[in-house]
Amino acid sequence: MSPTIGAESHKHNIAYIVRICCIAALGGILLGYDTAVISGAIGPIREHFGLTSAQTGWAVSSVVLGSIIGAVSAGWSALKYGRRKTLFIAAILFMISAIGSAVADTFTIYVAFRIIGGIAVGLACVVSPMYMSEVAPKDFRGRAVSMFQQSAVIGQTGVFYVNYLIAKGMSEAWLVDMGWRWMLGSEVIPALLFAGLLFLIPESPRWLVLKGQVDKAKETLSRISNPAHAERLIGEIQASLVDSNSPNKKKVSLRSPLLFSILIIGTFVAAAQQLTGINVIMYYTPEILKPIAGGTENALFQTTFVGVVFILGNALGMYLIDKVGRLPLMKYGTLGCALGMTIVGYVLYTGTEGYAALFALCLYVVAYATSWGCACWTMISEIFPNSIRSRAMAIAVGAQWFTGFIVTQSFPMLNDNAFLNEHFNGAFSFWVFAALSLICMVVVVKFVPETKGVSLEDMESVMAEKLGKKAPAKTAEATA
């Protein structure tokens, strides 16, 4: 008998659920790999192409710009072609980006291929958690969706170590000439693995029901649980949707008072994740640590510790999220984020050498992983009703990456600003992130309900109650 869980333990094939979620979570590994690979390569790339501070920001943030395009496109693609096919498209784009950016002989070509990689990142970060939330039972959903964040962290940590191995024992001249190319090109291996394994997972049963393919949905749900439970769940899904085959069916308007409010809240939660400063940590940690670590190789090695701590923090979040809920993790984790950023700023402001900065970064990533990592991704994959989920998640994650683009592009410019350096010695940005983290936490706690144990089909009424609004008649997202 397969492992089981919770009150519905007799209904769910947890081994099968974990297997298909692990494959979908490879999209997170590639997201982490693609976004964090630049952390080790940006120094050599800056020197190789002779970049200014603004161009250095563009070398990093170009992938974030591509992510906006991918995220905005993900809702349409996931609705029209399905979740699995969209993930396969992302895997192909990851491969194209890895090869193209690694062999680029001009900065313009490098940027073009990094944007392609960003499109893949945007597709994956919308569709992977969407898929996992739609195949996982409600009492397992928090941990299942958290697998996406954990896989992204594993991808980031993995590439931190790959970058370190590539740089180990090599001269700075070789890193500037060839090392960064090997770092970027190494992404081909996980991208190939992801593309191949996608053929082993089923399409999302909720998407199949939306498209009128009830028999296929029933087959998948029966394997996830059993025929009786599958029949009941299909009835619940259909009850949350109008007849998808009706010739009079219209696309649900996002301008209705309740749905628009939910969209605004979900979009804020997604965008606020970037205001905590996570992209700065993931993209620039080696550059932050280099002055106090004794060179590129040591900075890259210390960065691997940050990644390992990130994995442990995310594992803690996965363990707690379905036990204590989303909001407690958001509250206490955000306090840890603010404290970590405050200490990083203090270390830079006072010029303290040693491992104080590394300790503060580790404190930050543990707190972030349990809150804006695990809990945030779970929230934005849950709170949107079935009727608008793919469109709303695309908008929310697009806003997230747009905010990330601003943060990533502006950081090296602020960090190199003569006035700010004279008065804050590099601490300014980190203290701003600490303040923004606290502000975002207050908004989330005030407007987002606890979603632990709530079925996706009941989410609209739960959001309506939190926002003090009346839930409208249930409707379906149009096929397009």
CA of 349: how far to CAs of 56, 295, 353, 399, in Å? 23, 20, 11, 32
DSSP 8-state class, residue 369: I
pLDDT one-digit tens code per residue, 119-135: 999 898 888 888 887 77
- Residue with tokens 């005030």, as numbered in its chain: 446
Within 13 A of 183's CA, how many CA atoms are on the CB side?
33
The answer to whether the CB of 276 falls within 8 A of the CB of 429 is no
- DSSP, collapsed to helix, strand or coil, labels residue 338 as helix
Say whether pTM exceeds 0.75.
Answer: no
In this prediction, residue 100 carries a pLDDT of 95
Q: How many CB atoms lie within 10 A of CB 343?
A: 20
DSSP code per residue over 128-196 = HHHHHHHHS-TTTHHHHHHHHHHHHHHHHHHHHHHHHHHHTT--HHHIIIIIHHHHHHTTHHHHHHHHH
Residues of the chain with pLDDT under 70: 1-11, 138-139, 141-142, 145, 240-255, 291-296, 353-354, 470-480
Within 13 A of 170's CA, how many CA atoms are on the CB side?
19
DSSP 8-state class, residue 372: I
In this prediction, residue 112 carries a pLDDT of 95
In this prediction, residue 166 carries a pLDDT of 92
- Sign of the dihedral defined by the CA atoms of residues 116, 166, 57, 128, in that order: positive
**Which residues does 412 contact at the CB level (< 8 Å), separation at least 6?**
53, 54, 56, 57, 60, 284
In this prediction, residue 473 carries a pLDDT of 52
Q: How far is CA 431 from the centre of its chain?
A: 24
- The fraction of the chain above a pLDDT of 90, given in percent, is 21
Reference 130, options 205, 195, 36, 192; nearest CA is 205
- Residue with tokens 């890895």, as numbered in its chain: 98
In this prediction, residue 8 carries a pLDDT of 44
Q: What is the 3 state secondary structure string of 447-461?
A: HCCCCCCCCHHHHHH
Main-chain phi, psi angles of 251, to 5 degrees: -65, 135
In this prediction, residue 183 carries a pLDDT of 93
Q: How far is CA 26 from the centre of its chain?
A: 12
Reference 15, options 144, 172, 102, 105; nearest CA is 144
